[in-house]
Structure 1
Amino acid sequence: MTIPREAAPQIVRVCEYSLVLATSIPCTYDGPYNGKSLANGVVVSADSSPALTFVCPPALDHNERGGNFSLYFAPLLPEDSLAPVNVKIS
């Protein structure tokens, strides 16, 4: 993952996605009231490339087949601006 050189550090959070609801499932860093995130990371520079490793969500039933996830992005600090994050999924 990378960000533009002039960008402030950005947080990346991986959450579950529901096919039935056709939307992301909100999650927090460590629960307990929303779902717990699958992974979290901070991209601090254009040269950094942290890897986030996580297990895709399992199937819940025949409608929710599992394997779907969503990505959330935000600046690390409240006074910073949101910046684009380049993500490579493999």
Structure 2
Amino acid sequence: MHPNTDFAALPPSQFLRTPDAGRFLGLSPRTLEKHRTYGTGPTYRKLGGRIVYRVDDLRKWADRGLRSSTSDPGTGTVFAARPLTPEEMSSASGR
């Protein structure tokens, strides 16, 4: 994808490979790889050995961290790219 791509204009059904999905989210490709390993990241698909992310899935995952203030508990949590604790696993299963 071109470096000046307007990610906001991408259709929700558009698929992005890991480097472009990382740019879309402001994360490194390696961070997305870690999220895949630990099961903490956005939904992805494996097509013929290639990992792709649907734009809508990236937005939904990022929106779990949506807050309007520091006191807003929000509706979900975007966990760090690491193994989850048992407590985090139980809270993540309710997503």
More helix by share: 2
Specify the TM-score bucket, using the shorter chain as the normaliser: under 0.3
**TM-score, normalization by structure 1:** 0.25
Greater strand content: 1
